[in-house]
Amino acid sequence: MSAEAVVIDVVRTPVGRGKPGGALSEVHPVDLAAGVLTAILERSGLESEQIDDVLLGCVSQVGDQSSNIARQAVLAAGFAETVPATTIDRQCGSSQQAVHFAAQGIAAGAYDAVIVGGVESMSRVPLGSSAAGGTPMSPRLRARYPEGLVNQGVSAELIAGKWGLGREELDAFASESHARAAASWREGFFSRSVIPVAEAPEALTDETVREGTTAERLAGLPASFRTDALAARFPGLDWRITPGNSSPLTDGASAALLMSATRAAELGLRPRARFRAFDVVGDDPLMMLTGPIPATRRVLARAGLSLSDLDAYEVNEAFASVPLAWAAELDADPARLNPRGGAIALGHALGSSGTRLLGTLLDHLEATGGSLGLQTMCEGGGMANALVLERL
């Protein structure tokens, strides 16, 4: 009989703008990660020796984020040197994959207590840094995709075109993301999970939330990803993805404590949630960001549920076209989709986003008395993770 994995706690930093001068841009990513590791341990009252492993997501694993940043963060956090750690790259879903791996390890009996999470400092290690001086497009890969693959922004454009999502609809969704996030901050919703950053005490809220954003204001922004070569390759594409309806570059870290239900009971810790099902899929690498659609269908089938059984769904807002296409394809209730705002407002510190979404989903279920929620994330290369969470 497999052990049951439960969530004890989730924390995160505020997010800072991922550029020089951003609220967290002067904080080394190792120390950002160390801060959430320290906080999650202190809040649970555990000693680091009681942690079997630390699994952290990080996408750009070079420079300040190189050399297995998870291990560096464990040491910087003052954990016992006997605590191991490893760093995971499943692109945008890296820390959600860390959650999956840890919970599966607990279910298999390999772990009793694991800290999972992620970190990304996009101001100090810019997006794309890991490919500097080289390319993943090998001769064999080019032979399979002779026209070449595209960046995620172009994939977001292709999705908007395929699902007929106009510029007004994209911008309206983006402005609603800011409105929901701003309202949640005003209500104190994030106060349970957001912790201070010792190295940046002035960073108290998410720097990327823009209260008062309207679709009309966003309408004046130019398209971000159109080039003459791409326009020739994809004739008829309207080019409607802008900085306003995309997630901003951000800095941040997040962490969660997972345990077996048995170990939690032994330690007198109250579980906040358990997992009903997990799934991970591969999908078309050109469209790239459509993976949450099949991932959702598969994880719901594994859980024996339908979308109508869920009280909320967190679908990462890498670009507005991603959750909108997902919602259209699955006939989802807009009110339950990212009810506290999403990455367009709250930022997308790549390696950190999976556990950030987990915390937002869990806090929302607790605040509203909801029972079941879905979390799914599109990922570079055409993949997606999905999980169903049950509040306890």
Note the pLDDT of residue 132.
83
C-alpha neighbours within 13 Å on the C-beta side of residue 189? 22
Does the annotation count 364 as an active-site position?
no
For 372, the 3-state DSSP assignment is strand
Note the pLDDT of residue 221.
97
Note the pLDDT of residue 197.
98
Give the Cα separation of 361 and 390 in Å (integer).
10
pLDDT per residue as tens digits for the range 253-283: 999 999 999 999 999 999 999 999 999 999 9
CA Rg value for the chain: 20
- DSSP assignment string, 294-327: HHHHHHHHHHT--GGG-SEEEE--SBTHHHHHHH
pLDDT(153) > 80: yes
pLDDT(172) > 80: yes
Please identify which of the residues 28, 100, 178, 378 carries the catalytic annotation: 378
pLDDT(300) > 80: yes
User: How many degrees, rounded to 5, is the angle at CA 127 between CA 121 and CA 252?
Assistant: 20
Give the Cα separation of 113 and 106 in Å (integer).
8
Does the annotation count 28 as an active-site position?
no
- Per-residue pLDDT averaged across 38-61, rounded? 98
pLDDT(290) > 80: yes
Mean pLDDT, rounded, of the chain: 97
For the chain, domain boundaries: 5-126+248-267
- Per-residue pLDDT averaged across 94-109, rounded? 98
pLDDT(1) > 70: no
pLDDT per residue as tens digits for the range 309-340: 999 999 999 999 999 999 999 999 999 999 99
pLDDT(140) > 80: yes
Query: CA distances (Å), 173 to each of 288, 321, 343, 345, 365, in order?
Result: 21, 9, 12, 11, 22
Does the annotation count 348 as an active-site position?
yes
Please identify which of the residues 28, 100, 178, 348 carries the catalytic annotation: 348
Look at phi and psi of residue 210 and say left if phi exceeds 0, alpha if psi is from -120 to 50, else beta: beta
Give the Cα separation of 221 and 224 in Å (integer).
9
CA proximity to 295, closest of 308, 274, 277: 277
Please identify which of the residues 92, 100, 178, 364 carries the catalytic annotation: 92
- Per-residue pLDDT averaged across 339-366, rounded? 98
- DSSP assignment string, 27-94: S-HHHHHHHHHHHHHHHHT--GGG--EEEEE-S--SGGGTTTHHHHHHHHTT--TT--EEEE-BTBTH
Query: CA distances (Å), 20 to each of 126, 259, 352, in order?
Result: 11, 38, 19
CATH architecture of the domain with residue range 5-126+248-267: 3-Layer(aba) Sandwich (3.40)
Note the pLDDT of residue 99.
98
Q: What percent of the chain has pLDDT over 70?
A: 100
pLDDT per residue as tens digits for the range 216-248: 999 999 999 999 999 999 999 999 999 999 999
Do residues 359 and 375 lie in contact, with contact meaning Cβ atoms separated by under 8 Å? no
Look at phi and psi of residue 208 and say left if phi exceeds 0, alpha if psi is from -120 to 50, else beta: alpha
pTM, to two decimals: 0.97
- DSSP assignment string, 102-163: HHHHHHTTS-SEEEEEEEEETTTS-TTGGGTT--S--HHHHHHSTT----HHHHHHHHHHHT
pLDDT(133) > 90: no
For 95, the 3-state DSSP assignment is helix
Estimate to the nearest angstrom the gap between the alpha carbon of 101 and the chain centroid. Answer: 15
